[in-house]
Amino acid sequence: MDWNVIIVNLPFLMKGLWMSIKLAVLVICFAFPIACVMAVGRISNRLWIRYPSAIFVNIMRSNPLILIVFWFFFLVPILTGRPVGDFASVMIGFVVFFAAYFTEIIRSGIQSVGHNQIQAGLSTGLSYFQTMRMIVLPQALRNMIPALITECVIVFQGTTIAYVVGLREFLNSTFLVTERTLRPAELYIFAAIVYFIVCFAGSLLARQLEKRKVIT
């Protein structure tokens, strides 16, 4: 074992890690608002809103992320008619894919709030939107925060898949360094440790919040 290889290549590796973090944060920032809209669509009474959202969510959830990335990597340049760059293609694929998962979390969060809460809200004279905004959503958000954090960890783990299209995130940077230095053992173990620390911290946070939420 020669751990020096990591110190020498640390700047390059950290650039990759920064790329992973950037990708994950951007994906979450774009996917979450889309998912909020879709979640409301999923529980809408209007069938022409509910069915398309359900179909979209189920298509995304029954395909592997890697295949969705391939799809978008191939389709985006064709649809836009011009190259938009690897990062944009990968990001669009990730956003669409994870929006479906966030949708399901938000939907079950909204549905976890008892129906009598809505009735109570309405019977005190609040409108439907007021009930949603002031009664249902605050409770729903509280219920779903642990699941949302867990999903964010999954998004971060998912960024490794950008490796397959050659985007230079952390795993791909590690791979490139192993190609050059022929020291896979040290480098991959280092990568695993870094991923573990980030993801384990996220899991612990989610579990902590899970314990604290008591509203039912």
Binding site for other proteins (CB under 8 A): 58-59, 61-67, 70-71, 74-75, 78-81, 153, 157-158, 160-161, 163-164, 171, 175, 178, 184-185, 188-189, 191-192, 195-196, 199-200, 203
- In whole angstroms, how close is the CB of 133 to other proteins at the nearest point? 28
Token duo for residue 61? 């959830």
Between 41 and 158, CB nearer to other proteins: 158
Report the C-alpha dihedral over residues 198, 18, 170, 201, rounded to 10 degrees. Answer: 0
What counts of helices (H) and strands (E) characterise the chain? Answer: 10, 0
Between 15 and 133, CB nearer to other proteins: 15
- In whole angstroms, how close is the CB of 157 to other proteins at the nearest point? 4
Between 52 and 64, CB nearer to other proteins: 64
Between 37 and 79, CB nearer to other proteins: 79
Q: Are 1 and 186 in contact (CB under 8 A)?
A: yes
- In whole angstroms, how close is the CB of 147 to other proteins at the nearest point? 14
Residue whose C-alpha is closest to residue 1's, from 172, 165, 188:
188
Question: Measured in whole angstroms, how far is the alpha carbon of residue 116 from the centre of its chain?
Answer: 32
Cβ neighbours of 71 (radius 10 Å): 15
Between 97 and 121, CB nearer to other proteins: 97
- In whole angstroms, how close is the CB of 193 to other proteins at the nearest point? 9
CA distance 64 to 60: 8
Token duo for residue 164? 């397959």
Kindly state the helix (H) or strand (E) to which residue 162 belongs, with its residue range.
none
